[in-house]
Amino acid sequence: MTTFEEFLLEPAIVSETSPEPSGLVSQVRGRGALRMMYGETYDRFGPTFDALKYYSWLGLASQLLAAEGVPAAAEVVIADTATTRNASADEAEKLLRDGAAHAARMNQVCTDLGLPVSVILMSSFIDEPPFQERLEEVRKTFAASEVAAESIRQTVPERYRAEEEAKGWVYALEEVATIAPYDIKVGPPRERFYDDPARVVAGEVGWNPLCSVWLRPALPLGLPPSTFVRDRDLGTFGVTPYKAGSLGLQANRVLLDQQMVKSAQELLTATVPIPKPGVPNPMLEFANTCELIRWAAGGPAPEAFPSVRFFAGEAKKDDLVAGCLSIVEEIAQRLHF
């Protein structure tokens, strides 16, 4: 059976951890019952297949840790309140309704796939005393420590810093306060820009340091390989996994809807797997994600992920497409599409 540390070391899924895997395992083992999280927002296009990678990772991590005698609760935090920060009153009300609907939908997805993951709304705890006390500690640390302040400033692109400073850095401070009570946080590569400040603040305050797991990026399907040569940032960080409209590439994403099998077939057919390790490879990323989701949903642990089989010459494009579609069809059935 796969151990939790082996799971952290799976290069087909995990991009990097902080601390490194053996250090992460050593650090959390003495903490007793653990709390793990992944955070996301949402957009008008609906939930994405890519986001299921994070739900699946959390579910599997919880099960693997439990098998080793370490209870670990897995939560997805829907940052509904954060989406309203720059919205009018009417827009904010709609965004909160959309957030509640998204949370309900994703809780049902977890139930349908058998994932031991709870989905909660940021608005359900942001006004409660424990959160407000943590937020005040973060604010005090931000004001008193230049190291902490600079780490938090770095979460905001330079061109927006004056605007965020005028607002009191509220988005970044709330993000750090949200992360603080968790032991392990999983997210896409860009999340390190929030996780690193959370560790700095934890060190200043005396909280347990956050352990981070950054998964491999979600890459849009159906684009020519030259796209990722021209846009190196896209190849490195990918699109936002949970927002279908990220970078305006919603037509290149598979959504959790009635068209998911059809769109997966069309997009995979239009995607070319690159026979070269170390370069952006959307088809292989999607195929690896499919295998992870099937495993988390009760299927067998893969003997080798599709990317490994492809580079070993054991799988060609037709094999990858067939394998992906088989899993997407299975997930669609379980989600009642």
| Cα–Cα dist 151/197, whole Å | 5
Lowest mean pLDDT among 7-21, 30-44, 119-133, 144-158: 144-158
- Closest by Cα among 178, 177, 90 to 142: 177
Helices first, then strands: H and E counts in the chain: 16, 6
| Cα–Cα dist 260/76, whole Å | 23
- What is the pLDDT, as a whole number, of residue 8? 98
Helix (H, G, I), strand (E, B) or coil at 72: strand
| Cα–Cα dist 282/50, whole Å | 11
Beta-strand pair 72-78/211-215: unpaired
Largest Cα–Cα distance in the chain? 58
At 200-237, the pLDDT tens digits run: 889 989 999 999 999 999 999 999 999 998 999 999 99
Q: Which two tokens stand for residue 297?
A: 């949903």
0.85 exceeded by pTM: yes
- What is the pLDDT, as a whole number, of residue 193? 86
| Cα–Cα dist 321/178, whole Å | 39
| Cα–Cα dist 303/73, whole Å | 27
At 151-196, the pLDDT tens digits run: 878 877 788 788 888 888 888 899 999 999 999 999 999 899 889 8
Beta-strand pair 34-40/184-187: parallel
Given pLDDT bands bounded at 50, 70 and 90, which one contains residue 71?
A: very high
